[in-house]
Amino acid sequence: MTIQPAPGDTLDPREEHYRIPSPHSGLRLFLRHLPATLPSAESAAEAKVVLFVHGGTFPSALSVAHRFDGRSWRDVLCAAGYDVWALDFHGFGALSDPHPEMSEAADRHPALGRAEDASHQLEAAVRFIGGRYGAGRPISIIAHSWGTMAAGRFAGRCPDLVDRLVLFGPIARRPGTADAPRLPAWKPVTLQDQWDRFVADTPKHEAQVLLERHFQAWGERYLGCDPGSCSRTPPAVKVPLGPIQDIYAAWAGDLVYDPGLIRAPVGIVRGAWDSMCTDADANRLFDALTSSPLKRDVKLGHGGHLMHFEEGRYALYRETLAFLDGNDTVSGPAASGRSIAAGPA
C-alpha cells in the first residue's frame, strides 16, 4: 500500500512508501523506496537493489534519506543505478507501529527492540522487497551501528537472501569482564543528547566535521518523527532501548550474532575517530568473518561514528559504492583487504 509521508519526512515525488505486515501480529512496518535514476525503463529493469538498515536512535528518513545541502546518501546510490529501500524498525519514525509497551512507563518492561527481534523484522522487509522484483534478484544491505547486529543476525540465518553486506561503523564483541547493565523499555532522547553524541568523536584539536546548520535542519525533522516529542520538556523523541542493551551486551562479551555464519561478501567501513568501532573492534570482527568469501576493512580519515552526516561523507559514499558494485574477484576461501586508509573526500 502506498501512503503519504509522515510529518517532517522526506518529500520526493518519486518516492514510494509501504506498510507491510510485521512478524508481530497486528503490527506493521514502514518501508520507503526510491527507484534508481536511470535513463530508460529498459535499464531500470537492470537496477541493482540495496536496503538500508538504520542504527539505534533515529529512522531512515533521518539517515540515508536525509539531504545535506540538497543531496542524500540515497540520492548518490540512486544515481549510481541502485533501487534504494530503507526500513524503519518498530518504535522508530512515525509510520512503523511502535511497540505497544512504549505507551506504558519505561520501567514496566525490559529494553524493547533487541537485535534478534529486529532481525525478523528485517527478514520480513527483505522478503517483501524480493517479491517485488521476482525470484533471483539479489539484495544487498547497508547497515549502520546497532543495525549491523540485526543485519548480521539476519544474514547468518538467511544467507541465500543477501548478496553483499556493508557494515558501517559496526558494533563488535569486546572482551568485557562485567555484566551489561539492564535497561528499561525506552527513553526520551533530546536534541542536546543527539548533538553531544554527534560531536563526541571529533578530537578536541580538530575542527568539527558536523556543521551546526546541518544539525539544526536535521533536528527539526528529528522532533517531527515522534508526534509526541513537543509535549515533553525539553522536547524529546521516545526511543526503544533494545539497541543500547545489545551494544552493552556486545561490549560485555556477548554479541547477538555469530559473524562466522555470514556467507556473503562483507565490507566494513568506518571513520578513523569512531569510538564505537575502534581498530581493535574492526579487527576482531574482520577475523570472525570466517565464512565470508570476500571481506574488506576500510578506515576513512577525519570521520566518526556518524560519518554519513559529516564533511567527509562523500568518501563514505564512494567506498560503499565501490564495494557494492562488486568489481572484484573472489578467488580462494577468503579474499580480503584490511584497513585501507582513505581521505575525507
CB neighbour list of residue 86: distance below 8 Å, 6 or more residues apart:
31, 32, 33, 51, 52, 53, 54, 60, 63, 64, 65, 74
Is the CATH number 3.40.50.1240 carried by domain 16-342? no
Distance CA 259, CA 266 (A): 10
Q: Which residue is listed with cell 533487541? A: 114
Q: Please name the helix (run of DSSP H) or strand (run of DSSP E) that holds residue 245, with its range, or none.
A: helix 242-251
Per-residue pLDDT of the chain (345 residues; tens, 9 = 90+): 444 454 445 567 889 999 999 999 999 999 999 999 876 545 556 779 999 999 999 999 999 999 999 999 999 999 999 999 999 999 999 999 999 999 999 999 999 999 999 999 999 999 999 999 887 778 999 999 999 999 999 999 999 999 999 999 999 999 987 899 999 999 999 999 999 999 999 999 999 999 999 999 999 999 999 999 999 999 999 999 999 999 999 999 999 999 999 999 999 999 999 999 999 999 999 999 999 999 999 999 999 999 999 999 999 999 999 999 998 765 544 456 665 555 544
Distance CA 64, CA 83 (A): 13
Q: How many CA atoms lie within 13 A of 86 on its CB side?
A: 30
Q: What's the Cα-to-Cα distance from 267 to each of 10, 49, 124, 271, rounded to whole Å?
A: 28, 16, 23, 13
Within 10 angstroms of residue 43's Cβ, the number of other Cβ atoms is 11
Backbone angles phi, psi at 32, to 5 degrees: -115, 150
Q: Which residue is listed with cell 556493508? A: 166
End-to-end CA distance of the chain: 39
Q: Where are the domains of the chain?
A: 16-342
Distance CA 314, CA 320 (A): 10
Distance CA 151, CA 143 (A): 7
Distance CA 158, CA 154 (A): 6
